[in-house]
Amino acid sequence: MIFDVQKIREILPHRYPLLLVDRVTTITPNTNIEGYKNITINEDVFNGHFPIQPIYPGVYIIEGMAQTGGVLAFVSMFGEEAYNNGDKIVYFMSIDKAKFRNPVIPGDKLVYKLEVLKQKGGIWVLQGYAYVDNKLVAEAELKAMVVDNAEKKAQK
């Protein structure tokens, strides 16, 4: 199962410049997911981080992992044809054991690999890894929950 950016946009509420996953290449509901983001010099973040020696921020790497994990959670909970019309939203609960091993720079293909450590109801605990050229650049344990979007609920 491969999801292109259009399908990812149907599932996640994120939009440019904070949609940080371009494609999902592998997904096994309730188990694991793999996706990637192509890092280009055109990313807005490089205007300030850092103009002379651009380095993709670690917080963006973690957010990209989380977004990829969000796709896994939605597909696992709502099926292969998951579509989020804004009724649900994913919130971070914790980020633990984050480690950054190598910088990510323009031209890199940042691959996210996440596996489910625990899941109960709408709460997900995922182990996330980020790679460039099969070399580990970052890792973290992420905990998030899928909840009703209160704003959307109030509009109904």
- How many degrees, rounded to 5, is the angle at CA 3 between CA 19 and CA 128? 60
Residue recorded with tokens 């997904």: 27
What pLDDT score does 30 carry? 97
What is the reported pLDDT for 152? 66
* The pLDDT of residue 86: 72
In degrees and rounded to multiples of 5, residue 11 shows phi and psi of -95, -45
Contact 34, 24 (CB under 8 A): yes
- Tens digit of pLDDT at every position of the chain (156 positions): 799 999 999 999 899 999 999 999 999 999 999 999 999 999 999 999 998 999 999 999 999 999 999 999 999 999 877 787 778 888 999 999 999 999 999 999 999 999 999 999 999 999 999 999 999 999 999 999 999 887 766 676
The DSSP bridge partners found for residue 35 are 24, 112
User: In the prediction, which pLDDT does 156 show?
Assistant: 63
Query: ∠ at Cα 59 (152, 31), nearest 5°?
Result: 70
What pTM value is reported for the model? Answer: 0.94
Which residues are catalytically annotated? 49
Torsions phi, psi of 6, nearest 5? -65, -45
Residue 10 and residue 83 in contact, taking contact as beta carbons nearer than 8 Å: yes
Nearest to 94 by CA among 68, 136, 61, 126: 126
